[in-house]
Structure 1
């Protein structure tokens, strides 16, 4: 891997084996990384870097080392040439008529015929580049159009996608409109593999190739669960080169923690990754009888304490979480669920009260019946104490009735 020694600095060097991941990489700061099974077997001699020689040296060659080795070019290099170079001239760059703010830095070979901009190839570099040369109060300009093709959305690796538990989410993977990838593949990467991520099992609700545009290879999850969080990789082949884009799905959920006082609870917003979150806020959302939505109170913080039985707190409570560039996502908690539980408790108490009243009434009836039975028993007992008197009374009564009948006949 040789090129003209045009750089005043050592560039980032990346060697990989086709479809096998990174072989060796060296950053501009001097840090080196080896791929799995390549550790200390490969290197690029530092003494040749200044000559533009970045060739890879493999020691202890193995049978498994066979295959296609790819030199990955990940940079865009713009040159500004002025012939002859005016001594004391300065150069500045504009992109789409706006001053260009570099991420990797601008390398300027002052006093030579070239000024160089070296940047990692991303969609943000697409457009009209203008090299502006200032010399003794005069300007010279030269422009050129640049198109960066590949995966344009997301525009960079390890972009985070946020979704709430139970919701649907789209994992974007959009290629440039003129590119139609072949053999598109989606993978969920296992954690713990930094340089050579191993593919894992995709979620059950995962669905890909739902778009009618062949350049759009986005996928979706119909119902997100906590277990679906993690890193995903989309890839496709363009002219024999495998283009990939990694992204991370961050899952959010709300949690309710009841306090010792059963009438209140603490709502907490939880995310599987909070590295980009800078702020939280809870918003009370209320719907009237016509379905009109209105926003009520707003409270800052990851957690909020509310009264569960208060009518003012009924409705939806939405947790919004923000990053450096604005809102990242939100998740909603329905307070009616907790109010319903309180209503069930009250209803249960009402049922118990009615049952107690019914039992008391039944007991009272039973007592009255027992009292009447006891009175009858006592009366019969008093009569049975004088059996002879009862016989005399009946005999006298019968004789009287007999005499009265005879008198009637006569």
Structure 2
């Protein structure tokens, strides 16, 4: 290609006697490329401008009369893909703009400007850069190739790779400086290869960049092995295992600490229930966590003959209470986790509710152990232990404090109110007892009288005579 350019430039120079300048231009495939061509006009006569490509003929030209012509291969559906901004002609800028460049556009271009009997020839190398990924979206564990192409390849150029803006040193790299002109990275597709791949081409003291994004299909949630999931004793928890959308794994399996839980088709694993209806979501949920459920779990599934796995650690939290001997009614609450490797801080929060159900949260102290008094009404309600790590809050666990029978620290109004209530109830109870005693005595007396019928007749007669005398008195 270099030889072709030199011959092309020499022929142009000998035929026109023009001054020749050589420029390098790098452009990413699909972008817009600007090929420079500048000439300081010394005449008011409009110049004649011609752009051509080696072995391809005329790209674009403009006559002194103002007529323009385009090469037949530089139009798409009748619309030209190249143009020269006429607004810059007065400044001596005759640069060629090529839209949506591709690898076939790479090569040697010549710009010829003729004005006032003088002619200037500019030669431009247009090099198209691409980064291609094969296959475009690999499956985790399968082979993937990342290739850097420059067309035409600059002889003597160097190649470096960046992954997510950090230097990447591949285990296998094939570089050719001839016809193929490629730099290739071949690896096994893993999560660590995901992200932005940038090919840095060094040439003549300058660096040119071209990038592409690599996505890997597989288990996307959780993104990494040994991900910790925190849950409190008695609560529900979901162990995530989500594959890339569209990937439906065969024979999904959950395994924990040597115990194999293999679900039948359409049925969840033993002790678990499905948390989603999506075919690529194989997460498992535990309705009520016990402290014995802590440990490592493995989710696996087969995709295109490749077994994909992800390891998850369930960390269980609980609060243990104990009575301290230092002070009567004093209780110690201890926040316990099955794994504390990520925990850097403990915080105790007191949660209370008023008569309207409004929640009030108050941070009390830091530390793993909290000492409170069971006999104080101020300590009633919920006590929450929040545990945090470097990335923020990891989880929490709650303990409900029940007051003891002998409650201290009550307000005076409460004591007087309770005393009045007790006295009133006692008086009412006494009256009821007296009424019941009188009713019992009357019943016993009548019972004794009914045992002697003659006596009953006498009593009845006496009673009637008494009533007659009372009526006579009233009449008189």
Give the TM-score of the pair, scaled to structure 2.
0.47
| Deviations 1:139-171, CA, capped at 9 Å, x for gaps | 322222322111111112221111111110001
1:289 aligns with 2:355: yes
Higher Rg: 2
1:85 and 1:308 map into 2 onto residues whose CA distance is 83
2:269 and 2:187 map into 1 onto residues whose CA distance is 43
1:188–1:232 Cα contact (<8 Å) kept: yes
Alpha-carbon distance, 1:101 to partner: 7.7
Counterpart in the other structure of 2:331: 265
1:81–1:115 Cα contact (<8 Å) kept: no
1:174 aligns with 2:237: no
1:319 and 1:161 map into 2 onto residues whose CA distance is 17
| Deviations 1:336-388, CA, capped at 9 Å, x for gaps | x2x146559xxxxx9xxxxxxxxxxxxxxxxxxxxxxxxxxxxxxxxxxxxxx
1:90–1:135 Cα contact (<8 Å) kept: no
Counterpart in the other structure of 2:160: 91
Alpha-carbon distance, 1:273 to partner: 1.0
| Deviation beyond 3 Å, 4+ runs, structure 1 | 72-87, 89-92, 105-120, 124-128, 132-139, 198-205, 340-344
What SS is found at the alignment partner of 2:356?
Answer: coil
Counterpart in the other structure of 1:189: 257
Counterpart in the other structure of 1:234: 299
1:90 and 1:322 map into 2 onto residues whose CA distance is 44
2:141–2:306 Cα contact (<8 Å) kept: no
Counterpart in the other structure of 2:385: 319
Counterpart in the other structure of 1:131: 199
What SS is found at the alignment partner of 2:388?
Answer: strand
Counterpart in the other structure of 1:164: 232
Counterpart in the other structure of 2:344: 278
Q: Which runs of 5+ in 1 are unaligned?
A: 1-71, 191-197, 345-349, 351-410
What SS is found at the alignment partner of 1:312?
Answer: helix
Alpha-carbon distance, 1:121 to partner: 1.1
1:208–1:217 Cα contact (<8 Å) kept: no
Please, which moves more after superposition, 218-227 or 317-326? 317-326
Alpha-carbon distance, 1:307 to partner: 2.1
Aligned length: 261
1:329 and 1:236 map into 2 onto residues whose CA distance is 29
1:76–1:121 Cα contact (<8 Å) kept: no
1:284–1:297 Cα contact (<8 Å) kept: yes
Counterpart in the other structure of 2:318: 253
2:167 and 2:404 map into 1 onto residues whose CA distance is 56
Of 351, 365, 375, the match for 1:309: 375
Counterpart in the other structure of 2:286: 221
1:86/1:307 CA distance change after superposition, 3 Å: farther
Alpha-carbon distance, 1:313 to partner: 2.2
Counterpart in the other structure of 2:400: 334
1:126/1:110 CA distance change after superposition, 3 Å: closer
1:107–1:115 Cα contact (<8 Å) kept: no
1:285/1:109 CA distance change after superposition, 3 Å: same
1:76–1:120 Cα contact (<8 Å) kept: yes
Q: Which runs of 5+ in 2 are unaligned?
A: 1-139, 178-182, 409-418, 420-476
1:120 and 1:200 map into 2 onto residues whose CA distance is 28
Alpha-carbon distance, 1:107 to partner: 7.0
